[in-house]
Amino acid sequence: AQSVDQPDAHVTLSEGASLELRCSYSYSAAPYLFWYVQYPGQSLQFLLKYITGDTVVKGTKGFEAEFRKSNSSFNLKKSPAHWSDSAKYFCALEGPGNYKYVFGAGTRLKVIA
Protein backbone atom coordinates (compact mmCIF):
# COMPACT_ATOMS: atom_id res chain seq x y z
CA ALA A 1 0.00 0.00 0.00
CA GLN A 2 1.12 3.54 -0.60
CA SER A 3 0.34 6.60 1.48
CA VAL A 4 1.42 10.20 1.92
CA ASP A 5 1.32 12.15 5.16
CA GLN A 6 1.49 15.90 5.47
CA PRO A 7 1.43 16.35 9.24
CA ASP A 8 0.90 20.11 9.28
CA ALA A 9 -2.57 21.17 8.17
CA HIS A 10 -1.69 24.85 8.59
CA VAL A 11 1.60 26.76 8.62
CA THR A 12 1.91 30.49 9.22
CA LEU A 13 5.12 32.45 8.92
CA SER A 14 6.37 35.95 8.25
CA GLU A 15 7.52 37.18 4.89
CA GLY A 16 11.26 36.78 4.58
CA ALA A 17 11.41 33.69 6.76
CA SER A 18 12.41 30.28 5.48
CA LEU A 19 9.62 27.84 4.81
CA GLU A 20 9.73 24.08 5.04
CA LEU A 21 6.61 21.99 4.47
CA ARG A 22 6.82 18.41 5.60
CA CYS A 23 5.88 15.33 3.62
CA SER A 24 6.48 11.70 4.52
CA TYR A 25 5.48 8.67 2.52
CA SER A 26 5.05 4.96 2.76
CA TYR A 27 5.86 2.80 -0.24
CA SER A 28 7.56 -0.53 -0.63
CA ALA A 29 9.88 0.50 -3.45
CA ALA A 30 11.40 3.69 -4.86
CA PRO A 31 8.55 6.13 -5.48
CA TYR A 32 8.09 9.08 -7.75
CA LEU A 33 7.32 12.14 -5.62
CA PHE A 34 5.65 15.40 -6.53
CA TRP A 35 4.68 18.73 -5.06
CA TYR A 36 1.72 20.73 -6.34
CA VAL A 37 0.38 24.11 -5.27
CA GLN A 38 -3.22 25.34 -5.24
CA TYR A 39 -3.70 29.09 -5.01
CA PRO A 40 -7.04 30.36 -3.68
CA GLY A 41 -9.79 29.83 -6.21
CA GLN A 42 -7.50 28.02 -8.62
CA SER A 43 -6.68 24.47 -9.55
CA LEU A 44 -3.48 22.57 -8.84
CA GLN A 45 -0.21 23.55 -10.48
CA PHE A 46 2.94 21.46 -10.69
CA LEU A 47 5.93 22.67 -8.65
CA LEU A 48 8.56 19.93 -8.82
CA LYS A 49 9.19 16.20 -8.87
CA TYR A 50 11.72 13.62 -7.83
CA ILE A 51 12.17 10.64 -10.10
CA THR A 52 15.73 9.49 -9.56
CA GLY A 53 19.24 10.87 -9.23
CA ASP A 54 20.09 14.05 -7.36
CA THR A 55 18.12 14.06 -4.13
CA VAL A 56 17.64 17.83 -4.15
CA VAL A 57 15.31 18.91 -6.89
CA LYS A 58 14.50 22.44 -7.91
CA GLY A 59 11.19 23.55 -9.29
CA THR A 60 9.24 26.57 -10.31
CA LYS A 61 8.75 29.74 -8.26
CA GLY A 62 12.03 29.25 -6.34
CA PHE A 63 10.99 26.07 -4.56
CA GLU A 64 13.15 23.04 -3.95
CA ALA A 65 12.66 19.72 -2.20
CA GLU A 66 14.96 17.09 -0.77
CA PHE A 67 14.29 13.39 -1.05
CA ARG A 68 15.50 11.49 2.00
CA LYS A 69 15.17 7.76 1.65
CA SER A 70 16.45 7.20 5.20
CA ASN A 71 13.35 8.73 6.75
CA SER A 72 10.96 8.50 3.78
CA SER A 73 10.54 12.24 3.45
CA PHE A 74 10.25 14.78 0.67
CA ASN A 75 10.10 18.21 2.32
CA LEU A 76 9.46 21.37 0.33
CA LYS A 77 11.62 24.42 1.00
CA LYS A 78 11.93 28.03 -0.03
CA SER A 79 13.88 30.95 1.30
CA PRO A 80 12.83 33.65 1.66
CA ALA A 81 9.08 33.19 1.65
CA HIS A 82 6.90 35.81 0.02
CA TRP A 83 3.29 36.71 0.77
CA SER A 84 2.37 35.46 -2.71
CA ASP A 85 3.41 31.96 -1.62
CA SER A 86 0.25 31.76 0.47
CA ALA A 87 -1.59 28.74 -0.90
CA LYS A 88 -2.33 25.10 -0.24
CA TYR A 89 0.48 22.68 -1.01
CA PHE A 90 0.02 19.03 -1.82
CA CYS A 91 2.60 16.27 -1.79
CA ALA A 92 1.89 13.26 -4.00
CA LEU A 93 3.40 9.85 -4.64
CA GLU A 94 3.24 7.61 -7.67
CA GLY A 95 4.42 4.05 -7.70
CA PRO A 96 6.44 3.62 -10.91
CA GLY A 97 4.35 2.18 -13.70
CA ASN A 98 1.00 2.19 -11.95
CA TYR A 99 -0.35 5.56 -13.20
CA LYS A 100 -1.99 6.41 -9.89
CA TYR A 101 -1.10 9.27 -7.65
CA VAL A 102 -1.76 9.24 -3.91
CA PHE A 103 -2.09 12.73 -2.48
CA GLY A 104 -1.50 13.97 1.01
CA ALA A 105 -4.21 16.04 2.70
CA GLY A 106 -2.31 19.24 1.98
CA THR A 107 -0.74 22.03 4.02
CA ARG A 108 -2.28 25.46 3.95
CA LEU A 109 0.51 28.04 4.06
CA LYS A 110 -0.09 31.62 5.10
CA VAL A 111 2.74 34.12 4.71
CA ILE A 112 2.18 37.33 6.59
CA ALA A 113 3.59 40.45 5.00
Exactly one of 11, 24, 44, 72 binds other proteins (CB under 8 A); that residue is 44
Amino acid at 49: K
Please, what's the b/e burial string for 81-110 (b: 16 or more CB within 10 A of its CB; e: otherwise)? Answer: beeebbbbbbbbbbbeeeeeebebebbbbe
From the list 62, 64, 73, 101, which residue makes contact with other proteins (rule: CB under 8 A)? 101
> Least distance to other proteins from the beta carbon of 42, Å?
7
> What is the rounded distance in angstroms from the CA atom of residue 39 to the CA atom of residue 102?
20
By CB under 8 A, residue 67 contacts other proteins = no
State which of residues 29, 70, 97, 113 lies at the interface with other proteins (CB under 8 A): 97
Q: Does position 28 bind other proteins by CB under 8 A?
A: no
